[in-house]
Amino acid sequence: MPEAVLNNVVEWTVSGLSAALRKTVEDAYGYVRVRGEVSGFKGASPSGHVYFRLKDDKAVLEGVIWKGVWGRMRVKPEEGLDVIVSGKLTTFAGSSKYQIVIDTLEPAGIGALMKLLEERKKKLATEGLFDEARKQLIPFLPRVIGVVTSPTGAVIRDILHRLAERFPRRVLVWPVRVQGESSAAEVANAIRGFNALPERGALPRPDLIIVARGGGSLEDLWSFNEEIVVRAAADSMIPLISAVGHETDVTLIDFSADRRAPTPTAAAEIAVPVRAELLAQIAALAARQIGSWQRGMDVRRTELRAATRVLPARDELLADPRQRLDTLAKRLPRALHANAQLHRTHLTRAAARLTPRLLKLRLARSSEIVVTLDQRGKRARENYLQRRWDRVRSAEQLLKAFSYQGVLARGFALVRDGEGHPLRSAAAVTGRMRLDIEFSDGRVGATADGDSAPAPTARAKPRARGGGPGGQGSLFGA
């Protein structure tokens, strides 16, 4: 190209050219729909935005999802997932590349959804969320049943109607969206909300939770395949029944729930028994119990009659005791007479030995013993009292030695605050504080003048050994 022509070409700045290219791209491809495979997906960045690539067998397109859009997405991108995205095509001047700012993302067909579902199922199963060992037993007759579903659909009416037919129970409905972007979060929050209710609060805590939804396509039921819902169901401390879709519909919450019901109506049937059948069973058991009791009484009555025939008659049982009693009754007067005669003989012999002289000697001996015991008792009492007085005097001397009143008697004083608490330092005294000063001969009330400040402490003079009386030094350091 001639040099003159080159000199007439418009000169661009880098930023100006980038802006022009961006405008051209955005005008020509303002809103596009692109299909490709997710590549390089690493989750949300620290800022909350998400960056990855869309690729096919020939090209790669950079993609970005802003933080606000990412939070509303029902289906999240995963590595290797075939998706269809919609958004605005633009450029990024910082690295001279073009990219798509994604507004919506959905799997490319049922096959992609099934692939994503299987991968998620394997992941959650590996974590143990589907183990049978962690599932709870469904209560036989719950007092309160919590239902997580749409309040306007036919599902809640079917459940209430079925419960009323079988066994009426109190039902708490937690209204949620069962389809759409916010559906999964609402269902998970409802399950956690029921579990968070206090057991004895104003609103009763359910004994059983039913998560229910009518039938639909795989896309319609996708909220119940989200991890947040599956984990909430697995973490529920209240037994949970999953009743999502029809019998042929399978979602991941069915595996983490404690029990799966093929339909919402079947969930109501699992939740409560039939009241009429229970009454019939109770009546049958009562009849069997009464019949068993009657048969038992008949058997015991027969056994008693048989035992009665074997036992001897009353007169036969009492014949020997009566005869022995008659024999002893005849021997009793003679035995009483002989016993009295024997005691009379012993008494006569003892009276012969009791002469007045013997009685005097024994009385004199007893008197000497009494006098001796009295003298010993007096000495023991005096010794005991003397020991007690000595212990009292010793305790009194110790009390005086350790009492603070002895210190007060030596010229010291005890200072207390207005509440009677001792003050051990000048720093504890504040301005205008009421003080109670106790001397050895009484107490004096006082008021602190101004703010207190600890006085400078003079260096103690060395004490001469034995300077005070008795060689113990002076108490005041003089």
Instruction: Inform me whether the pLDDT recorded for 379 exceeds 70.
Output: yes
pLDDT digits (tens, 9 = 90+) for 232-249: 999 999 999 999 988 888
Strand residue runs (E) in 191-345: 208-213, 240-244, 259-260
State the average pLDDT over residues 309-327.
84
Beta strands at 144-149 and 240-244: parallel, antiparallel or unpaired: unpaired
CA 296 to chain centre: 49
pLDDT for 454 equals 52
pLDDT for 351 equals 80
Whether residue 76 contacts residue 38, with contact meaning beta carbons closer than 8 Å, is answered with no
Instruction: Inform me whether the pLDDT recorded for 477 exceeds 80.
Output: no
Helix (H) / strand (E) containing 230: helix 227-235
pLDDT for 8 equals 65
**Environment class of 433 (CB within 10 Å of its CB; exposed 0-12, middle 13-18, buried 19+):** middle
| Crossing angle (nearest 10°) for helices 227-235 and 183-196 | 10
Instruction: Inform me whether the pLDDT recorded for 93 exceeds 60.
Output: yes
pLDDT digits (tens, 9 = 90+) for 268-286: 999 999 999 999 999 999 9
How many CB atoms are closer than 10 A to CB 122?
9
pLDDT digits (tens, 9 = 90+) for 31-83: 888 888 888 888 888 888 999 988 887 888 888 998 888 878 777 787 877 88
Average pLDDT, the chain: 84
Instruction: Inform me whether the pLDDT recorded for 427 exceeds 90.
Output: no
292's tokens: 């068993």
Whether residue 259 contacts residue 158, with contact meaning beta carbons closer than 8 Å, is answered with no
How many CB atoms are closer than 10 A to CB 223?
27
DSSP, res 342: H
pLDDT for 219 equals 77
Instruction: Inform me whether the pLDDT recorded for 288 exceeds 90.
Output: yes
Q: Does 119 or 162 have the greater pLDDT score?
A: 162
Instruction: Inform me whether the pLDDT recorded for 134 exceeds 70.
Output: yes
pLDDT for 470 equals 41
Beta strands at 170-175 and 442-447: parallel, antiparallel or unpaired: unpaired
Cα separation, 403 vs 424, in Å, equals 17
294's tokens: 């009657």
114's tokens: 């099934």
How many CB atoms are closer than 10 A to CB 227?
15
Whether residue 98 contacts residue 64, with contact meaning beta carbons closer than 8 Å, is answered with no
* Nearest to 264, CA basis, from 166, 154, 152: 154
- Which segment of 23-37, 298-312, 349-363, 442-456 scores lowest on mean pLDDT? 442-456
| pTM of the predicted model as reported, rounded to 2 decimal places | 0.49
pLDDT digits (tens, 9 = 90+) for 172-199: 999 999 887 788 999 999 999 999 999 8
Cα separation, 168 vs 145, in Å, equals 10
305's tokens: 């009659």
Instruction: Inform me whether the pLDDT recorded for 344 exceeds 80.
Output: yes
State the average pLDDT over residues 212-226.
85
Rama region for 432: left / alpha / beta (φ>0; ψ in -120 to 50; rest): left
Cα separation, 335 vs 341, in Å, equals 10
Cα separation, 249 vs 230, in Å, equals 16
